[in-house]
Structures are given as C-alpha cells and as structure tokens.
Amino acid sequence: MSWVDDGFIAFDTETTGVEVSADRIVSAAAVEFRDGVEVSSREWLIKVDVQIPQAASAVHGITDQMSQVQGLVQVEALGEIREYLVSSKLPVVCFNSQFDRMILDSNLERVGYQPLLGVVDICPYVIDKHMDKYVKGKAQRRLQPTVARYGLELNEADWHGALADARITGLLMLAQQARYPQLFISESGEFGHLVEQWRKEQDASFKSWLASQPPRPS
C-alpha cells in the first residue's frame, strides 16, 4: 500500500489569466480517488469581481455572463474550496501545481482567508520531468500530450474544463504510480518534499540554460 491507495484529491483551476497576484479563479474542481478509483467530485463556478478576458473565456469556455449569473459568491466559494481541501487531510495533486497552489493562496488571502498551510502538494508534471528527462517536441510537457504518453485519453471537447482536467490529472497520478512504483512507497508528506526538491532543481537547471543562451538581437 502507498499513500496513493490511501487516497488523494486531484485539483484544477480555471482562471482569468496567469498572473497569480492579480488574476482570479473562475472555476475549480476536486476529484477524490481512493484505492485507484474515483469516489467523489466537487466543482465550483465563481462570480468573480473582475471582467473575464475573451482570451481566457476562449480557453475554458466561461463567460462574464456565466460567472455573474450562475457563479457562487466569490468569498463563499473560496472558503468552501479551502475547507474541502484542508478538512480532507489528503494530499492534493495538481498538474503544474506551483501555479494552482500559488493562485489559490493569492485568491484566498485577497478575500481574508489563510493560505493552504499544511496541505501536501504533489505535482505529476514535476514527476514526469524528473523521470523522463528527454521528451522531444514543442509543448510536449503540457497536460494533453503528457497524459497521452501514459496511454490516457480525454475527449477533445472536454479539455480545459476544471472537472475534466482534475479527473485526468488523478488518472495520470495513478498511471505514474503504475509506471514507477518504487517512487510511491514513502509517506505522502515525505514524497511531497522530494517532488518539491525536484521542482527546485528543474527551475535552477532552466535558469542556467537561459543564462547560457546568446542574447537576442535588439
């Protein structure tokens, strides 16, 4: 048995943009897995206090009208998300979790909540980069081509919805456990620290590579 079998929550957000200090979470979804199967899911559509850019709506399909008419009050929705993730006491699995966790903490603090202190964060994106270092091709580390490399499929129309992306992220975590079982024998907190160390090493390697590149012509 590993922490994966004991349970985890796959989580995803859709946002107004990628600036974690300023942009808003428009929708979020959490899918709980236990013993390798989905056991429950939650989804939140949020009434945000800024205009949703058309470029963002084109990605996730949520318009200003949908947000304002159908969305939950922002402070209440964010409080529900925080309570759900904290009270579960399960590790939270996000693809490129550094973004999702940072923008969630930023949104929580903006409306007066504490960030997700003590919640274990595990990122399949970082695991994939560490275990399969030489993936070739442009944008092949994004979610869709990554899950395809693990033999998973998702209907093209479903991509970029929070619930579908959370669900496929959970399945990706299970596929990584099956491919690299030796990684998943430790306790979730210990493994989370290991994955965070890999992320820091990957960030440092990327910065070193950038510094080695010749300057662009002005």
% pLDDT > 70, the chain:
97
pLDDT in tens, 117-153: 889 999 999 999 999 999 988 899 999 999 999 999 8
Mean pLDDT of 14-28: 96
Fold of 3-204: Nucleotidyltransferase; domain 5 (3.30.420)
Measured from the Cβ of residue 142, the count of other Cβ atoms closer than 10 Å reads 12
Alpha helices per DSSP H over the chain = 3-6, 54-60, 64-70, 74-88, 97-110, 124-131, 143-149, 162-179, 188-212
